[in-house]
Amino acid sequence: MIITKGLNLILLLGVTSILGQRLLRPALSRIQIGQKTFSPLVTLSLESTRSSSRRRDPTFAYVRRSPLVQDSKRFLSPWSKWSECSGKCGQTGVQKRTRSCLAEHLWGVHCNEATEEGRLCIGHVCSACNISCPMGRVNADCDACMCEDATLHGKVSLEDGSPAADARVYLQAKTLKLLTTADDRGMFRIPGVCPDGKNTLKIKKAKYATSTVTIPESNRKNLGIQVQLHRSGKPYILRSPEDKARRVGQSVALCCDALGSPAPDRYLWYHNGSLLDPSLYKYKNNLILKNLNRDQAGEYFCKASSPGGSAKSRSAKLAVIGRQEAACNSQPQSHLIRLPHDCFQKTTNSFYYDVGKCPAKTCAGKLDKGLRCKDNISYCCGVSKMETRDISCNGYVLPTKVVIECGCKKCTETKITVRGRATAADNGEPLRFGHIYMGNKRVSMTGYKGTFSIQVPADTERLVLTFVDRLQKFVNTTKVLPFKENGGAVFHEIKLLRKQAPVTLESAETNVISLGEAEDDPIAELEIPPDTFYRKNGEVYRGKVKASVTFLDPRNISTAPVTPSDLNFIDEEGDVFPLRTYGMFSVDFTDEQGSESLNAEAVKVHLDAAQVRMPEHLQEMKLWSLNPETGLWEEEGDFNLEKSRRRKREERTFLVGNMEIKERRLFNLDVPESRRCYIKVRAYRSERFLQSEQIQGVVISVINTEPEPGFSSNPRAWGRFDSVVTGPNGACVPAFCDDQNPRAYAAYILASLGGEELEAVSSAPKLNPNAIGVPQPYLNKLNYRRTDHEDSSTKKTAFSINMAKPSPNSPDENNGPIYAYENLRECEEAPHSAPHFRFYRIEGDRYDYNTVPFSEDDLMSWTDDYLAWWPKPMEFRACYIKVKINGPQEVNVRSRNMGGTHPRTIGKLYGIRDVRSIRDPRQRDVSAACLEFKCSGMLFDQDRVDRTLVKVVPQGSCRRESVNSMLHEYLVNHLPMATNNDSSEYTMLAPLDPLGHNYGIYTVTDQDPRIAKEIALGRCFDGTSDGTSRTMKSNVGVGLTFTCSERSAAEQSIFQSQRNSGQQSMLVLPGQSPAYQRPASRQPTQGRTPIRGQRPLPY
């Protein structure tokens, strides 16, 4: 029914047959409306062509023609051509034509004539089949071309080369048409398919991504193709969008990349959790935002999807500020540095001084033209102005540089490094010369002692490394290693699981392999039916099989650090979820000679239900396999409850699952766990727990334990192991928790730095909430216990807590240290005053002072200043000299480091280093110290070198006995020289060359200052250029020797007599200052016999 100004116009629509068209044509010749008859041309008004929502019929408004004025042609443009008929083949449609009112444009006069007309039409004549074939003829279904004399032969294989038996081959037409199925060898044959370069096949197999193949154009009658199927998986985010800052009116590009099999074919972008309309923003994997306003600030993330599933990227923060607004807060934050032990400040009643700090956050700097995923130049808030202040100490003045203004400047470029050591979990045997893979690419090798170092590529989302033992002693281990995103190095201890010795199986018999350390109480069993082993070419294997099945038993808590990956998977929505493990096993099947790897199908896993302590987990248990490229676990299959005796007298309940052992050989018995929380942990340099003394790069690990008693030798079995790295504001460690029962889950927390375990705060004889960092009564509810709580002989490097989820109704529990999973942002941004757990490092009697403040844990805090201790933020060179002390007491030794030859720094202080000598366990009256000094070299502008003026001063009544002869000869041959008139100290212009232990000098260059210092210290302690030791060896590799007597109580400390002037050892260039003086005579060195050709240094 079509309504037009009160008149009813009845049209017959939808006539699709040829007969219907014949019936319609006479009706269209004369249309009667009321008392009037019109021709087929019907005048239509465009303004009423909206479709009826109920019948979806087009509605037209009929306009009665009025007589045109004599010159109407002057006011209306000519009619356009009729449009294409909107009807499909054989169906009724509409054609339209339009014209415009010229008078309206010229004089504003409205025309009362129609400006659009429409007429009914019939679509084009339907043909029997409109497919044209360049080769062969059209098939009976009119959906493809066929060639009777052509035959296609194909082979489908899996990733490891084994045949893809039962793979289905489809022809892509209007609907997929099944052509054939591959046989046991992966072979198929399709007659009649034309090799015209247009026919497309789709090959499908369960758990594998669909492969699309176009048959190549060929004149051959018999054509062959080979297809390899890749395991289907969810997308994996390769690159997340980056944090950016812009001003109002500017533009920004946010980018997201994902990989997968099949490849992602759809991207969605979200702003503050809300989906951005794809039709409005016209995005794909890149989101372009132009002419920004403040409302567009916030968090953005993308979601990549494919037929295999979805994955979400990390969120990026977009800051949008006003056009004239300051890019950074110019006022620096408070930052306290510790002063030397002889520099107590009476005004503040402390040893600390506030030097200020600028937070290194992204800011809106100067942009170049063009929109890029990664800005060519990154801008961060940093130091824009500093001033020098003199601090009055006990008898001397200490200069320091204080931040007085912050501004937006280029971010400090840093390098990210991961170091570590790979050793056996059972006896510490190193993985010697093992291969390290990142995906399918080998990126490094372990050394003789199992050590490794890897530079993390830019834009790395997750660092997934696989450690492969070429000797096959250990199970191949995949690890997801956290790293410092702001630059620097993190040290990881990689624990490897030793392979079980192989057992011999008969392939024609049913074989059962126990999974668990206790033979009489296994967690699960593998049942391998007869004749299920087969070679990679698909042939059934008959004969003896060597089977090595290694099980990681969660009932033994010492195995937790061996956990592969980080026990995470991606759910259907693309979110990362954790798994709670009930055991993992690695499978290795070979022929009798051990030369050929074998596959197995129809293998059954029988999991003893009595081992599952949480009843709700019985229904959620699944079998998983590890994807070594992504480090994520992927579902293999479900379990079903069955009752059987299985070599036991009593009937037991088992969870039974089926699996195939092909490309992947590492499996997991896991349950997804949604009860999640975060634990706030910080690490410090000392027990003072000052905010300015927090340590970054500390690896914090958590071991989640189950609530019920497990294995008899262990009170509680573990279910998850995870690690994170501390940043500027500590770390938020994920762990399972429960809001109903505080004891439902417990956790052990550990911390390590550079392979050295940090100490936790004591819990005995009674809890000290101020020291632990958590107030009462929440602390009692968490049941904090350090590992030595009941046995003082136990290590003090971990603590346990009950994972009691904070109650939303308790104000005391909503401020940390436990945060609900949805409150991660609150945990990450929690102030230092908020409750948190603490670790600290006992660094001994060692003190560092820099004139230009710099945190070795935060490389972004580096400042481009001539007096910076480290002149380059991407290359850190650590220098040490070994000082031997003959005397009954351990003494403090100081190095005072000043500019020596550079005109911008000469006579100015770089910094001070204090260290206490360590007694030699083999010699009663001998101790030694490894003393750091500032290396000589280029300053930050890379214009010219500076030979650092280093003064070594032992505290107390000390006398210089000797100088290493090779070091002395080097200094004599590399002028200028420093004068040494005071025998109680030693002054030198630091060597430019990286000397070794033969000189008593130890130099190491690294991308991380802490790593460089640790390596150099280890060599200095050992007295070698390539070894390492934690025990001081005072008689080898010595640079300086002093003899110190016991000082009387009334004698003044040598530190108290220090002056900035350095009166007796100031250096001056020849003819300019007395600082640089050439030796006037060649007198023998005290306590040494000069070697031939040596120019002794006057003291």
Question: What DSSP assignment string belongs to 340-406?
Answer: PTT--BTTTTBSEEE--B----B------SS--SS-SS-EEEEEEEEEEEEEE-SSSEEEEEEEEEE
Q: Averaging pLDDT over each range in 127-131, 381-385, 839-843, 1081-1085, which range is the top one?
A: 381-385
- Percent pLDDT > 90 in the chain is 44
Q: Averaging pLDDT over each range in 4-13, 50-59, 600-609, which range is the top one?
A: 600-609
**Is residue 893 very low, low, confident or very high in pLDDT (cuts 50, 70, 90)?**
very high
Dump the DSSP string for 130-169: ----SSSEE-TTSSSEEEEEEEEEEEEE-TTS-B-TT-EE
Res. 712: pLDDT tops 50 = no
DSSP class of 300: E
Provide the β-strand partners of residue 435: 445, 468
Mean pLDDT of the chain: 82
pLDDT value of position 69: 39
DSSP class of 424: E
Least confident window among 128-132, 241-245, 357-361: 128-132
| Coil vs helix vs strand at 24 | helix
**Is residue 328 very low, low, confident or very high in pLDDT (cuts 50, 70, 90)?**
very high
Res. 180: pLDDT tops 60 = yes
Using an 8 Å Cβ cutoff, are 164 and 187 in contact?
A: no
Task: Measure Cα distances from 736 to 343, 554, 616 in Å.
Answer: 47, 16, 15
Least confident window among 28-37, 201-210, 787-796, 961-970: 28-37
Helix, strand, coil percentages for the chain (3-state, nearest 5) = 10, 40, 50
Using an 8 Å Cβ cutoff, are 732 and 678 in contact?
A: yes
pLDDT value of position 856: 81
Longest dimension (CA), the chain: 137
What is the rounded distance in angstroms from the CA atom of residue 1086 to the CA atom of residue 1090?
A: 9
Tokens 């408070």 sit on residue: 334
- 470/643: higher pLDDT: 470
Q: Which residues of 938-964 are buried (b: 16+ CB within 10 A; e: fewer)?
A: ebbeeeeebbbbbbbbbbbbbebbbbb
| Coil vs helix vs strand at 1029 | coil
Least confident window among 16-20, 135-139, 355-359, 597-601: 16-20
Structural tokens at position 719: 């279910």
Q: What is the phi-psi region of residue 476: left when phi exceeds 0, alpha when psi lies from -120 to 50, beta otherwise? A: beta
Dump the DSSP string for 858-915: -GGG----TT-SSS-TT-EEEEEEEEEEESSS--EEEEEEEB-S-TTTBT-EEEEEEE
Q: What is the phi-psi region of residue 655: left when phi exceeds 0, alpha when psi lies from -120 to 50, beta otherwise? A: beta
Res. 1096: pLDDT tops 70 = no
Res. 895: pLDDT tops 70 = yes
- Per-residue pLDDT, averaged over 505-529, amounts to 86
pLDDT value of position 962: 95
Res. 39: pLDDT tops 70 = no
Structural tokens at position 969: 């000869």
Q: Which of 680, 623, 631, 677 has the alpha carbon at shortest distance from 655?
A: 623
Res. 35: pLDDT tops 60 = no
Strand 876-886, strand 1040-1045: pairing = parallel
pLDDT value of position 43: 35
Read off the amino acid at residue 200: T
Name every residue whose Cβ is closer than 8 Å to that of residue 128 and which is 6 or more positions away in sequence: 142
Res. 617: pLDDT tops 80 = yes
- Per-residue pLDDT, averaged over 688-692, amounts to 86
Note the pLDDT tens digit of each residue in 42-67. Answer: 333 333 333 333 333 333 333 333 33
Task: Measure Cα distances from 657 to 620, 636, 637, 664 in Å.
Answer: 12, 9, 7, 17
Read off the amino acid at residue 663: E
Res. 3: pLDDT tops 50 = no
Least confident window among 706-715, 736-745, 818-827, 856-865: 706-715
What is the rounded distance in angstroms from the CA atom of residue 411 to the CA atom of residue 1003?
A: 28
Q: Which residues of 30-60 are buried (b: 16+ CB within 10 A; e: fewer)?
A: ebeeeeeeeeeebbbbeeeeeeeeeeeebbb
Res. 29: pLDDT tops 80 = no
H or E element: which one contains 969? helix 965-973
E runs forming strands in 24-83: 31-33, 36-38, 44-45, 61-62
Task: Measure Cα distances from 578 to 562, 676, 973, 1043 in Å.
Answer: 17, 8, 63, 61
Dump the DSSP string for 608-633: EGGG--SGGGTTT-EEEEEETTTTEE
Note the pLDDT tens digit of each residue in 909-940. Answer: 999 999 999 988 888 889 999 999 999 999 98
- 753/743: higher pLDDT: 753
pTM above 0.85, yes or no: no
- Per-residue pLDDT, averaged over 237-243, amounts to 91
**Is residue 835 very low, low, confident or very high in pLDDT (cuts 50, 70, 90)?**
very high
Least confident window among 82-91, 209-218, 242-251: 82-91
pLDDT value of position 58: 37
- Per-residue pLDDT, averaged over 418-430, amounts to 92
Note the pLDDT tens digit of each residue in 287-308. Answer: 999 999 999 999 999 999 998 8
Least confident window among 105-114, 263-272, 819-828, 989-998: 105-114
pLDDT value of position 78: 86
Strand 36-38, strand 31-33: pairing = antiparallel
Task: Measure Cα distances from 580 to 9, 338, 674 in Å.
Answer: 70, 44, 10
- Per-residue pLDDT, averaged over 559-580, amounts to 89
What is the rounded distance in angstroms from the CA atom of residue 872 to the CA atom of residue 862?
A: 9
What is the rounded distance in angstroms from the CA atom of residue 258 to the CA atom of residue 771?
A: 45
Q: Which of 819, 817, 526 has the alpha carbon at shortest distance from 654?
A: 526
Number of H helices, E strands in the chain: 8, 74
pLDDT value of position 9: 30
Structural tokens at position 133: 């074939």
What is the rounded distance in angstroms from the CA atom of residue 241 to the CA atom of residue 224?
A: 44
Res. 395: pLDDT tops 60 = yes
pLDDT value of position 124: 67
- 706/132: higher pLDDT: 132
